C-alpha cells in the first residue's frame, strides 16, 4: 500500500496571539510545525503545509511544500484542505489518501496517520475525537472523494466548514480517549493556552526522563 499524502494546516492568522505565526511558536523548545510533522508517521513526500492566502514563511521546513489558498472567498481549514487537493491534482495525484492535521496540536499522538487510516475502514473520510470533543482538521480523506472541492471553493459552492463537509461525506469518528488520559488534540489559540501547553510539555518531558531512568 502506498504512503498517504499529508498536509499540515497552518494558515491561521493567530489573531488571539497577537498575529503571530502559530507554526513558528515553540512548545517544549520545539516549533509547532516540527512537533506535528514528527508525529504524523510515514507519509509521502513532499509533506504539504497550508500557509493561508500567501506563503509568508509558514511553509519553511526542510522537504516541505507550501500550498497557498485558492483565489476564492473561502478561508480557514477548509481552504487549506482545498489548496492541498488542488496541489495534488496539479502533480497528477487524483486518488489515494490524504491526512490533514492542525499545526496548533502540539501533542498530536505518534503514528497519527496510521491509526486514522485504520479507523477509516470503507468510509470517504474520518476525523479524530477525544470523548465528546471532536477535531475536524485532524482527519484522513480519500482524495477521489474530494475531487470537486477545489472547484467548489473557487465557485463559492463548498460546504461552510470542514465539519459540514465531513457530515456530507458520512465521515467516521475515530475516538482516541481509550488510550489517552489527557486530550492529545488540545490546541493553541490564546496566550493562556501557550502557557498551559508549555507546562504540559515540561511535565511530559520530566515523566519520560523518570520512565527512562527506571528501566
Tens of pLDDT, residue by residue over 116-174, are 999 999 999 999 999 999 999 999 999 999 999 999 999 999 999 999 999 999 999 99
Average pLDDT over residues 22-35: 80
Q: Give dist(CA 39, CA 106) in Å, integer.
A: 9
What value does the mean pLDDT of the chain take? 85
pTM of the model: 0.87
Q: Contact, 80 vs 158, CB < 8 A?
A: no
Report which of 22, 65, 31 is spatially closest to residue 45, judged by C-alpha positions: 65
Q: Give dist(CA 109, CA 118) in Å, integer.
A: 14
Domain boundaries, the chain: 5-213
Q: At the topology level of CATH, where does 5-213 sit?
A: Spore Coat Polysaccharide Biosynthesis Protein SpsA; Chain A (3.90.550)
Report whether pLDDT(58) > 70. Answer: no
Q: Give dist(CA 144, CA 156) in Å, integer.
A: 20
74-112: per-residue pLDDT in tens? 888 999 999 999 999 999 999 999 999 999 888 888 889
Q: What is the DSSP letter of 214?
A: T
- Phi and psi at 80, nearest 5°, equal -65, -40
Amino acid at each position: 500500500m502506498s504512503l498517504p499524502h499529508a498536509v499540515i494546516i497552518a494558515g491561521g492568522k493567530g489573531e488571539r496571539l497577537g498575529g503571530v505565526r502559530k507554526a513558528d511558536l515553540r512548545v517544549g523548545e520545539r516549533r509547532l510545525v516540527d512537533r506535528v510533522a514528527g508525529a504524523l508517521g510515514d507519509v509521502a513526500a513532499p509533506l504539504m503545509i497550508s500557509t493561508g492566502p500567501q506563503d509568508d514563511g509558514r511553509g519553511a521546513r526542510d522537504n516541505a511544500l507550501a500550498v497557498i489558498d485558492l483565489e476564492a472567498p473561502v478561508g480557514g481549514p477548509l481552504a487549506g484542505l482545498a489548496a492541498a487537493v488542488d496541489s495534488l491534482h496539479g502533480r497528477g495525484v487524483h486518488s489515494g489518501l490524504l491526512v490533514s492535521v492542525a499545526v496548533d496540536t502540539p501533542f498530536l499522538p505518534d503514528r497519527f496517520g496510521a491509526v486514522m487510516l485504520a479507523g477509516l475502514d470503507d468510509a470517504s473520510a474520518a476525523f479524530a475525537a477525544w470523548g465528546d470533543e471532536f477535531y475536524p482538521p485532524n482527519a484522513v480523506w480519500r482524495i477521489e472523494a474530494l475531487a470537486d472541492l477545489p472547484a467548489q471553493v473557487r465557485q463559492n459552492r463548498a460546504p461552510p466548514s470542514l465539519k459540514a463537509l465531513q457530515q456530507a461525506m458520512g465521515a467516521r469518528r475515530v475516538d482516541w480517549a481509550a488510550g489517552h488520559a489527557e486530550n492529545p488534540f488540545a490546541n493553541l489559540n490564546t496566550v493562556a493556552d501557550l502557557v498551559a501547553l508549555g507546562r504540559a510539555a515540561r511535565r511530559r518531558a520530566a515523566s519520560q526522563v523518570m520512565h527512562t531512568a527506571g528501566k
